[in-house]
Each structure stands twice: as C-alpha cells, then as structure tokens.
Amino acid sequence: MNSIIRTAVLGAAAGLVTFPTAAFAESPLADAPSFTMSIGAGTSASSIGYLIDPEQSIGGSFNNRPSLNNRIGVTFSKWVLFASLGRDSVAQSVGGESVSASVLNGGMGARFYMKPLRVKKATPYIMAQAFTTVAALDTGNDGLDDRASNTQTVGLLPAFGGEYAFSDGLSVSGETGIAYSRSMYDDGDDVLEVSATAFSSAVYLNIYF
C-alpha cells in the first residue's frame, strides 16, 4: 500500500512539473522572460543621404541600398523589448559621379503580438522603433566627407508584420512600415536640416533562448 501511495504521489508531482511545460511548449514566448536574437535584411530610409548634396537630393537622386539589422531583446508575455544595431548604405549622384556612404544605425523598440505566438502558426504583430544613425564617407572631398560625419540623424519607425514559428526556439518574420527621419548638419557656420519619410520593409530570422 505504501509503495502504491508513494508511486501516486511521485506521479502527481511529476505531472505538476511537466504540465506547464507541455501546456506552453508550443509558444516561444511562454517561458517569459526569455531572450531573443534577430538577424534581418531589407530596405530602410534615412534622411542623412539628402545632406550629402542637398541640390542633387532634392532632385531625387538619393537611393537606399539593402540594409542589415540585428536585434537582441527580452520577451514578456506578448511583448518583446529590443535594442538594434545595423548597417545601411546610401548612394548619391554628385557631379555625375556615384558616391556611397556607410551608415551605422542603432536604436530601441518594442514588438507586440496581437495573439499568442504559437509553433506552426502565423502571428501578426505591431512594432515601433526609435533610431539614430552615424555616417562615414570617404570621397576625397573634405566638404562632403565632413558633412556626412558631422550630420546627426534621429528617426521613428512604426510597422506591422507577421511571424511564423518553426519551433519554440526558431521563427521567421517580416514587417513593413513607414520610416520618418530627421537629419541636421551644423558646423558653426552653416546649418542644414532635412526630414524624410519613406517605405521600409525587412525580413528577420529570430532565435529564442
């Protein structure tokens, strides 16, 4: 009889321990708080390109190139709070020649899922991110190079997207939104300001651990 009772108690205890795991195993966000890392690529917009050569930029010769963006964050139920670090490249036609600038961007943001994220299901979400950028330009033209390096840019990116989880540790997501950025150049003599609004989209590989 004692062995039967002991077995029953152990079985019940094991059930209590494993039930939460079994119940939430299909959700990467179930064991919140947890950590997540995302690697992404897509298009982005930064008004910094318009300050490389304002006259040319107003004519619309400023172009975005594919950007890389990495995020690391922490999950809380339906929320993901993250910090981002990425690299963009912008091209500008100056005097008939193509000039490229390397742009580093960093920021912080949050993602909110409209419903619980589940394995093998698509889940919609909304996202907002504030960012700033630093540009590096090496053209041999001191005026252009200084303008790029001394330009300060801040921006805001609201977006919506969807995420599909292959397992409780791996998913892919895609998002699209409108990026608003504002750049200012001030060398003590000249002050230039410009703002830009542009379409932005990206695809991410997400890892939860």
- 113 pLDDT higher than 90: yes
For tokens 């200012």, the residue is 184
Q: For residue 97, tell me if it sits in a domain.
A: yes
> How many other C-beta atoms are found inside a 10 Å radius of the C-beta of residue 97?
8
pLDDT in tens, 7-60: 443 444 444 333 333 334 457 676 667 899 999 988 765 555 545 454 444 333
DSSP 64-101: E--EEEEEEEEEETTEEEEEEEEEEEEEEEETTEEEEE
The backbone torsions φ and ψ at residue 192, rounded to the nearest 5 degrees and listed phi first, read -125, 135
Q: For residue 156, tell me if it sits in a domain.
A: yes
Q: For residue 3, tell me if it sits in a domain.
A: no
Q: For residue 5, tell me if it sits in a domain.
A: no
pLDDT: which is higher, 77 or 188: 77
CATH of the domain at 112: 2.40.160.20
| Per-residue model confidence (pLDDT) at position 16 | 36
Sign of the C-alpha dihedral, residues 120, 121, 124, 125? negative
Q: For residue 14, tell me if it sits in a domain.
A: no
pLDDT in tens, 57-111: 433 334 455 678 899 999 988 999 999 998 876 666 555 666 666 778 899 999 9
| Residue 52 contacts residue 101 (beta carbons within 8 Å) | yes
Q: How many domains does the chain have?
A: 1
Q: Is the peptide bond before 33 cis (omega within 30 degrees of 0)?
A: yes
Counts for the chain of helices (H) and strands (E), in that order = 3, 9
| Per-residue model confidence (pLDDT) at position 144 | 66
23: Cβ–Cβ under 8 A, 6 or more apart, which residues?
none
Domain span at 145: 27-208
| C-alpha dihedral (96, 97, 98, 103), degrees to nearest 10 | -110
Q: For residue 94, tell me if it sits in a domain.
A: yes
Tokens encoding 161: 């997207």
Q: For residue 200, tell me if it sits in a domain.
A: yes
Q: For residue 7, tell me if it sits in a domain.
A: no
